Copies of this chain bind each other. A is one copy, B any other.
Amino acid sequence: MKNKLTIVKIGGNVINDNKALTSFLTDFASIEGLKILVHGGGKKASELAAQIGLTPKMMNGRRVTDEANLDVVTMVYAGLLNKKIVAQLQQYNCNAIGLSGADANSIKAHKRVVKDIDYGYAGDVDEVNDSVIKLLLENNLTPVFCAITHDKNGQLLNTNADTIASEIASGLTNHFHVVLIYCFEKNGVLKDVKDDNSIIENIDSKSYAALKDKNIIADGMLPKLENCFYALNNGVAKIIIGNPSVIVNKVQKYTSLKL
């Protein structure tokens, strides 16, 4: 039987709130067994960009990354946020090791091909280096990934954190029984975005298609669920979407996904 591996992706809204982040990291550190954390951090990057006079550009919910903005996200994601998270996890006796995709060549990507929109230095993942991540995990290290990858040709690339979580989860299914948890500010996938209790508790491929048809799942939730079904199709055992307390409190409601 494969060892269980829990992969948690935490969104920018939790990271931007020190108290919520501390609470989350305490919980994360307490997860038993092998684990990986993937974090976003959009808001802080926009703040720094504004401070140095850059205007962040968004297209279809994704950041357009010119060279100056790539430097900003590299500083904020791989530097400030990643190292603060790692230091805090170390305090809670979780032996965290912060990584970008360039580190140990752990995630190779390519610059997104320009069709209608040029997203600049945005990376689409080609390959997750499962053996090096396995090596770290099996030596009691907890990888903490930020949303930066590289092209193995010297170029860093800004990459969607949800996608990174989904790709890492998919890449490790050969070695582990992978559970993937997406934590964000809502309690799960909602029927009505304005009603935080309208959680859709179970979604499978069939109901997903219907929810899309009825436009109940739309906007930012669409790429998140696409990532989920990509991971399920690649052998990820279980996916949960919910608020951060979902990682320790099993009784609350959340969204559970299967094929």
Give A90 to B103 CA distance when docked, in angstroms. 8
* B-side contacts of A86, CB under 8 Å: 100, 102-103, 150
Give A80 to B79 CA distance when docked, in angstroms. 7
Which of these, B52, B77, B91, contacts A79 with CB under 8 Å?
Answer: B77
Instruction: Verify if A61 is at the interface (C-beta below 8 Å from B).
Output: no
Most buried by B among A71, A104, A135, A156: A104
Could you mark each residue 56-85 of chain A with 1 if its beta carbon is under 8 Å from any beta carbon of chain B, else 0?
A: 000000000000000100111111101110
* B-side contacts of A78, CB under 8 Å: 78-80, 82-83, 98
Contact, CB under 8 Å: A90 / B102 = yes
Contact, CB under 8 Å: A83 / B135 = no
A47, closest chain B residue (CB): B52
Dominant SS at the A interface?
A: helix
Instruction: Verify if A105 is at the interface (C-beta below 8 Å from B).
Output: yes
Shortest distance in angstroms between A78's beta carbon and chain B's nearest beta carbon?
A: 4
Contact, CB under 8 Å: A83 / B74 = yes
Given A100-B86, A102-B83, A141-B104, A153-B91 contact (CB < 8 Å): yes
Residue positions of A touching B, CB distance < 8 A: 48, 51-53, 71, 74-80, 82-84, 86-88, 90-91, 95-100, 102-105, 132, 135, 139, 141, 148, 150, 152-156
